[in-house]
Homo-oligomer: A and B are copies of this chain.
Amino acid sequence: MTKKREQILGTALELFANEGYQNTSTSKIACQAGVSEGLIFKHFQSKEGLLHAIVNLANDDIRDFIKRIENQDDPKKVIETAFDFPPLVSSNRDFWKLQFSLKYQCPAKQQYHEKKELINTFETMLEKAFRELDYDNPEMETELLMNIIGDLCRKHCNTDNGCDQEYINFVKQKYEV
């Protein structure tokens, strides 16, 4: 990967995340990245192709996390590991900001948010854990915890100085982890 290609990807991620995909013109990306506008289209064919490339880049992080949660046997540990996900969001904040903004865009752009592999694995593991721990309604418990984790991720995206540890501990306590 050439340096200018990396420059384009980095600048575009930053602008897409913080000013919105629609609000970011290819000329602005080129200008801020210090490259000619034509180069963007040489590398990524279209503005949407650039978005696609950016979204695919962060998939490795996600696959690593899935492996970590899959390797847990102890159901309590599974639930505990779930709470490690929001901090992961912090470490790649612009990417997740972009993800959440795409989720609430028009249907045409929502495809780029579909981290279904991650979400499905997450849900399956949690439901199994709740079942092994003899919770009354493992399905609904999973839906609730997915919501809670999702909100934590959203918060991590938008707060600069890390996370609200008191709140995290409070929720963890509810699950005795």
A144 near B148 with CB under 8 A, answer yes
Whether A23 touches B140, Cβ cut-off 8 Å, given contacts A147-B148, A151-B147, A151-B151, is no
List of B residues within 8 angstroms of A20 by Cβ? 22, 105-106
Binary per-residue interface labels of chain A (108-149) against chain B in the complex, 1 for a CB within 8 Å, 0 otherwise: 100000000000000000000000000001001001100110
Sorting the interface of chain A by its residue count into under 10, 10 to 19, 20 to 34 or 35 or more gives 20 to 34
| One of A44-52, A62-70, A75-83, A166-174 at the interface | A166-174
Binary per-residue interface labels of chain A (93-111) against chain B in the complex, 1 for a CB within 8 Å, 0 otherwise: 0000000110111111000
Check if A19 is an interface residue, CB within 8 A of chain B: yes
Check if A26 is an interface residue, CB within 8 A of chain B: no
A166 near B148 with CB under 8 A, answer no
Among A100, A101, A106, A170, which residue has the most Cβ atoms of chain B within 10 A?
A: A106
B151 near A166 with CB under 8 A, answer no
Separation of A17 and B8 alpha carbons in the complex (Å) = 31
- Interface set of A (CB-CB < 8 Å, partner B): 18-20, 22-23, 100-101, 103-108, 137, 140, 143-144, 147-148, 150-151, 166-167, 170-171
